[in-house]
Chains A and B, each alone.
Chain A
């Protein structure tokens, strides 16, 4: 373990490293059944995930709802308790830190939530919302400094002139403007690593592009690294250089976004990409539709999580869980058949 930590510390590129991370939520079972069966039941939201993110990367985490992508994102910024495994941020293992150090680190680890209609407190003005992180973390020493910081953050996210926005309440803003306010409040803390949990899925198509562009611009300006959680592969293609495909708490394929989308290897990735509605009728792909539904993360199938729905499933898939293997440089796949 010491070796790994040392290796990470000495390499400047890796900002976040995750090793065999598990986040299980206990399910409250009836008293009698827990006595009779004698075992606890868990929702295995994240079930043994390992990956690393280099500094300056945008890693897209792609998956259907309930695959554990949001839980994983929250775990990385310390918002959910980890069951086992390790999260190493810039050489420090945050899973073993005490509360005080985590609070200190959390300034650098921030999250942008999905729904700007719900994530902003309706009774606070834009000024209060953006100022709050600065006050809570006691970053500013005077009111002038506070105001300067807030104004700067608003200008950074393109809410200009700031006078038009600073005294407004969230309900007076459009969806795109609300998401900008949410991003501004995150920026005030000068984060290094930002988890963006479906930041554009609630927005109209016509404003999505501006928010994505803004995020890319801020990444360059402030040297950010993003974990971008999305169910929409075409958005992943636009924003990220690396992509990971998640299914039932596991990563099935991970690699450079272009590779993963153009030459997917895992059957699940292939199917997922084939069903994305394509606008241009000329480029229609042959659809691979997986039958049935995603199994419950409480009763995960034995072996490969995909095997009950996989068109290529073999005997071995039912017995053994495939490991995530590096097939080509930087391209990882978890499948017995490749």
Chain B
């Protein structure tokens, strides 16, 4: 479906070149959900924006390929690109509170992609909008409501409906759960699972919440300082994390089940993406550091169906 091949993205700022995404490769199959996790500033949002080519002007894709059904998204011109956006790949944006236009009714906002792509008439588009509102669990009579009359969870559902309305194959969801309560969050997780089954949708879920990703995703990618640290099936990564960063990240998550265990924080903070440390980007915070880690950056190695970038893994 979607194949990303050694993608590298830099931001050009006054203070220097910010190396936000470094040599990232992955594939996403039909019906798969890939969870991309990491601390803030690890490049996960940049990666998501690049997939739909929405990067800000000061960002540049230095190298790499993004293949959607074999077509390189990076080589498309604006016209071809607008045909692909929303029709084949769409996005659920971060922050349900701000992503909708406050002065337009949700119905008008929902049909916009259909009308712009010339898919159908206005009446048909409204019919489809109602159908999708029902699909995401909103009463279609609310089609003429303004966003401020809806709750946060309902607005998030509208955004999901909007991302799905042109039946794309891939949906990128950037932190779709922040600002939602646990109960609403559980409702939306259930909805996304259901939609994935019904529509055979592929989803890229970008989130800082590893616990949440582990419930929804089929594969997990752990990012740090713009690089992949560990990438594999949920079961492998979550039950037997091999990378020291993944292990620490998991220990920092408080768990409800079992006895309260001491939480561990990761000392220090992520490196500046302008002045990267030499060697492994995690070495200043890693407790299992070897001499090698300060000199050479570990390559991403395959091991039993998963990928790890760590010198400790042989």
Residues in chain A within 8 A of chain B (CB atoms): 64-65, 174, 176, 204-210, 212-213, 231-235, 237-238, 261, 271-273, 275-285, 287, 289-291, 293-294
A283–B260 CA distance with the chains assembled, in angstroms: 15
- Contacts of B235 on A, CB cut-off 8 Å? 281
A210–B251 CA distance with the chains assembled, in angstroms: 12
- Contacts of A273 on B, CB cut-off 8 Å? 256
A281–B234 CB distance below 8 A: yes
- In the complex formed, the residue of B with least CB distance to A283 is B257
User: Assuming A205-B208, A206-B252, is B182 touching A276 (CB within 8 A)?
Assistant: yes
- In the complex formed, the residue of B with least CB distance to A288 is B186
B265–A234 CB distance below 8 A: no
Give the secondary structure class of B's interface: helix
A279–B214 CB distance below 8 A: yes
- Contacts of B39 on A, CB cut-off 8 Å? 204-206
A279–B210 CB distance below 8 A: yes
New A-B pairs, 4, CB < 8 Å, besides A278-B257, A279-B210: A209-B263, A279-B211, A285-B257, A293-B153
User: Assuming A209-B264, A293-B153, is B211 touching A282 (CB within 8 A)?
Assistant: no
A240–B250 CA distance with the chains assembled, in angstroms: 21
- Contacts of A64 on B, CB cut-off 8 Å? 181-184
- Taking the closest CB of chain B, its distance from the CB of A64, in whole angstroms, is 4
A280–B255 CB distance below 8 A: yes
CB < 8 Å: which of B255, B263, B269 contacts A174?
B269
Q: Which of B153, B187, B235 has the most CB of A within 10 A?
A: B187
B239–A287 CB distance below 8 A: no
CB < 8 Å: which of A176, A238, A283, A290 contacts B254?
A238
A279–B238 CB distance below 8 A: yes
Q: Is B194 an interface residue (CB 8 A)?
A: no
A287–B188 CA distance with the chains assembled, in angstroms: 13
A278–B215 CB distance below 8 A: yes
- Taking the closest CB of chain B, its distance from the CB of A228, in whole angstroms, is 13
Q: Is B190 an interface residue (CB 8 A)?
A: yes
B249–A205 CB distance below 8 A: yes
- Taking the closest CB of chain B, its distance from the CB of A299, in whole angstroms, is 14
- Contacts of B256 on A, CB cut-off 8 Å? 233-234, 237, 261, 273, 276, 278
CB < 8 Å: which of A213, A235, A238, A277 contacts B215?
A277
- Contacts of A272 on B, CB cut-off 8 Å? 182-183
B211–A278 CB distance below 8 A: yes
A279–B256 CA distance with the chains assembled, in angstroms: 9
- Taking the closest CB of chain B, its distance from the CB of A175, in whole angstroms, is 8
Smallest CB-CB A-B distances: 10 pairs: A275-B186, A209-B265, A234-B254, A209-B263, A64-B181, A206-B266, A277-B211, A279-B211, A210-B265, A283-B257
